[in-house]
């Protein structure tokens, strides 16, 4: 299997999302970067965002260098609700006044035990993982509904439905995001806006580069036998926002190599 970087470098352009615009949060690296690059390879004009302006611009430049359309609009989604609304306006303006696709990927993931989780971590998880997606959808989905078309994909986690002995606030935030999906599907779906989730498994990203051995051990006995690549999540997102998934509303698509659905107990 190709590495994530090789898979992204060898994307074959197509036109399945031609004429559409997309905002992908947390897209200056990792899963979000892969999503932005895959959507752009399929013809979407993309806003790349993250807290680091240089990294966001580097991803946007990579997309442009391969023939895609991208704009870097830096933002800290853990900032105030007003700042997130300002980002939504800036992203919409960068895309010519229209947003067709929103991918709520940005998130923080403190993994401390409950008793040692600082109050500051609670605040930043609430702001980034829960409030920011809610504010962005509140700002951008109504215009989609008025047009009768649009797609939102929320990035959840395999840990939202599994008890693990750490990171309670993170896993709870991802459960909240997945419930957003079901509620927003009911709220906006009748007006043409499809809302769905992907739930990545143990994914190898720059943010967890120091945990590669743990990821390999965690996934060794899954059907896939190895960690998820960001590009695997990205292609699932692309399918969910495409016309091929026109009848998919409120779904949760696990992209985890079988981690959440199976348990291998080893040889008898």
How is the beta sheet containing 150-155 ordered, strand by strand? 69-72, 45-48, 21-24, 101-104, 150-155, 193-200, 252-255
* Catalytic residue (one of 109, 158, 170, 188): 170
Q: Which of 197, 189, 76, 51 is nearest to 132 (CA)?
A: 76
DSSP letters for 47-65 = EE--S-HHHHHHHHHHHHH
Q: To which H or E segment does residue 153 belong?
A: strand 150-155
Q: How far apart are CA 151 and CA 104, in angstroms?
A: 11
φ/ψ bin of 3: left (φ > 0), alpha (ψ from -120 to 50), beta (otherwise): beta
3-class SS of residue 200: strand
Is 109 annotated in the active site? no
Catalytic residues: 170
């Amino acid at each position: 299997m190709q590495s994530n970087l090789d898979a992204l470098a060898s994307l074959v352009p197509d036109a399945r999302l031609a004429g559409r615009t997309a905002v992908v949060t947390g897209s200056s690296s990792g899963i979000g970067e892969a999503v932005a690059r895959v959507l752009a390879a399929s013809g979407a004009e993309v806003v790349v965002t993250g807290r680091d302006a240089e990294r966001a611009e580097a991803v946007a430049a990579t997309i442009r260098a391969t023939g895609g359309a991208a704009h870097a609009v830096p933002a800290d989604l853990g900032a105030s609700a007003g700042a997130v609304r300002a980002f939504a306006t800036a992203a919409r303006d960068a895309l010519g006044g229209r947003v067709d696709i929103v991918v709520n990927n940005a998130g923080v993931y403190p993994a401390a035990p409950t008793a040692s989780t600082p109050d500051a971590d609670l605040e930043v998880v609430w702001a980034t993982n829960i409030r920011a997606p809610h504010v962005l959808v509140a700002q951008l989905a109504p215009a989609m509904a008025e047009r009768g078309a649009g797609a939102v994909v929320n990035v959840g986690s395999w840990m939202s439905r599994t008890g693990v002995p750490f990171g309670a606030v993170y896993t709870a935030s991802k459960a909240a995001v997945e419930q957003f999906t079901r509620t927003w599907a009911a709220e906006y779906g009748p007006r043409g806006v499809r809302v769905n989730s992907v739930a990545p498994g143990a994914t190898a990203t720059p943010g967890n580069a120091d945990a590669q051995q743990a990821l390999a051990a965690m996934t060794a006995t899954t059907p896939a036998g190895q960690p998820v690549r960001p590009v695997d999540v990205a292609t699932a997102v692309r399918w969910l926002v495409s016309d091929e998934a026109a009848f998919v509303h409120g779904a949760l698509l696990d992209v985890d190599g079988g981690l959440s659905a199976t348990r291998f107990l080893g040889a008898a």
